[in-house]
């Protein structure tokens, strides 16, 4: 039986599980210790018949032909070695960032490429409608500047939670956990050079805010701002282009203005775009390593530039 094992009892359950069932028609295998979490998500009850339970993570992986690693970058790296050693696992869907830092990401990228498996890394912005509009606008740009602004209050700041998602060294923070979505998209659009990068936070290793500017051959200058501790929620893009392709976007966040956009309104509204991401593995299983390598290159260049300045000045 073809099925997908999910390791990760957070977004793995309320995000990937419904996306895999609704959009990919997949059966899901979960470790038994996730059962209590699964049952607490009452909106997932409708998917119970699609879930098979395994004794533990190792058993779940052995029972599946694909795997989702929806965990912290450190834990993802831990499980990657196990997944690569399982010949029956043909598909690996990985959360971003691939690892805690660009150097480790490059190491795992090479291992993944050698494996011959179908690999997808969840840089979800490329699957959103506005990303296609941005590609078109940049291709017809008559201006000299693109500005992308993403401001929000991260869950861990709103609730004062001590979690890896706020720690730069663990793959969290405004650059590695949030900004990596934009880094990936810009790399795909052809941006290859970092002009400047600066991050700030209230404690060593905590990047709350990030500003950077990018350049690419034949592309308008691009400025990015990510503020994960903002009192307002705002996602905007301004790009001067020809009249037919001008882009001026402003909404609550990258995924829309708060409306449920997936098939089941009770589900997390990212399920629909997550479904498109998952579908890309089964519908078009071509390797995407040639896309992921430029992402790592741009990420590495940015962090090299960022480290040359006071990366964590007082907020």
pLDDT digits 0-9 by tens, 14-49 = 999 999 999 999 999 999 999 999 999 999 999 999
Residue 15 · residue 271 · CB < 8 Å: yes
Domain-wise residue ranges, the chain: 3-124, 125-256+287-307
Assigned superfamily of 3-124: NAD(P)-binding Rossmann-like Domain (3.40.50.720)
Same fold, 3-124 and 125-256+287-307: no
Count of all residues that appear for the chain in the document: 315
Q: Which of 84-98, 153-167, 247-261 has the highest mean pLDDT?
A: 84-98
Give the CATH class of 125-256+287-307. alpha beta
pLDDT tens digits along 42-92: 999 999 999 999 999 999 999 999 999 999 999 999 999 999 999 999 999
From residue 21, alpha-carbon distances to 213, 262, 274, 291 in Å are 39, 13, 11, 27
pTM of the model: 0.92
User: Sorting pLDDT into bands at 50, 70 and 90, what band is 263?
Assistant: very low
3-state helix, strand, coil in the chain (%, to 5): 45, 25, 30
Confidence band of 206 (pLDDT split at 50, 70, 90): confident
């Amino acid at each position: 039986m073809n099925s997908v094992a999910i390791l990760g009892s957070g977004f793995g359950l309320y995000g990937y599980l419904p996306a895999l069932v609704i959009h990919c028609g997949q059966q899901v295998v979960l470790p038994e210790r996730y059962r209590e979490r699964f049952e607490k998500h009452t909106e997932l009850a409708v998917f119970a018949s699609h879930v098979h339970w395994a004794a533990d993570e190792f058993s779940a992986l052995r029972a599946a032909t694909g795997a989702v690693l929806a965990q912290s970058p450190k834990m993802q790296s831990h499980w990657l070695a196990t997944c690569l050693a399982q010949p029956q696992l043909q598909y690996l869907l990985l959360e971003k960032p691939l690892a805690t830092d660009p150097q480790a990401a490059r190491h795992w990228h090479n291992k993944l490429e050698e494996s011959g498996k179908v690999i997808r890394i969840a840089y979800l912005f490329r699957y959103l409608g506005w990303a296609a509009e941005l590609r078109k606008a940049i291709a017809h740009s008559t201006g000299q500047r693109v500005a992308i602004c993403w401001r929000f209050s991260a869950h861990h700041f709103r609730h004062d939670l001590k979690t890896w998602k706020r720690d730069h060294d663990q793959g969290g923070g405004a650059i590695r956990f949030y900004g990596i979505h934009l880094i990936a998209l810009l790399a795909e659009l052809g941006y290859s050079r970092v002009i400047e990068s600066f991050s700030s936070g209230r404690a060593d290793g905590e990047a709350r805010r990030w500003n950077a500017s990018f350049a690419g051959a034949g592309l308008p200058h691009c400025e990015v701002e990510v503020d994960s501790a903002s009192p307002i929620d705002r996602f905007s893009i301004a790009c001067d282009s020809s009249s037919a392709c001008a882009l001026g976007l402003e909404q609550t966040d990258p995924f829309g203005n708060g409306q449920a956009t997936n098939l089941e309104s009770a589900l997390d509204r990212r399920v629909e775009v997550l479904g498109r991401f998952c579908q890309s593995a089964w519908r078009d299983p071509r390797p995407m390593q040639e896309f992921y390598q430029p992402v790592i290159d741009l990420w590495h260049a940015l962090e090299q530039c960022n480290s040359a300045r006071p990366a964590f000045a007082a907020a």
